[in-house]
Chains A and B, each alone.
Chain A
């Protein structure tokens, strides 16, 4: 079954600290993996997208890694800010004939406290 699992479900950290979110997937055939940030009640915003051959990609304080062999990805947030409080969703695109089918994880809810 094609699934995307994320951990932890929720996380609380203090402002300025670093954190790492995990994503494991069983999606096949694999096209790419994306991390999205979703503020409460808003649509997700793309942070990174990585293909099979990419091991790491950065977007400011966000760094995503991908290990296609173990089917694991992580999102590392450096020097967290209050505005980082949101849900972070790992999305794996599955290759299909007409389009890539996106399979979403349930997200990690991050809360950053001052």
Chain B
């Protein structure tokens, strides 16, 4: 069984650009969560989606948005990139909103 997959694995952007990160959950999982992990820190919660609806939102600016598709895959969008957005972006899937979350390998974003 495939685990959580994320694409791309690495990405380099410049300030002011826009980025879209993608996540495919484990088959049968209906919830997807997004986290930002800055080097040397623990992951910070960005969003959680369940059945295509937003169920939770962390303390991130409106430049960050996400959505979940009918097949439960998800996209994270970040507009007007800042240098501080450079981080590892993790996607996690779970059966529901309270079950164990299984993390993908992450997308490493570098903003120059």
Contacts and interface: CB of A to CB of B under 8 A. Distances in A.
A43 B97 contact: no
A102 interface: yes
A77 interface: no
Contacts of A89: 42-43
Given A41-B108, A106-B42, A100 B97 contact: yes
B28 interface: no
A17 B42 CA distance: 26
Contacts of A103: 45
B103 interface: yes
B88 A104 contact: no
Interface in B23-62: 33, 35, 40-45, 48, 50, 55-56
Given A41-B108, A42-B106, A103-B45, 8 more contacts: A45-B103, A46-B100, A46-B101, A99-B48, A99-B55, A99-B97, A101-B45, A104-B35
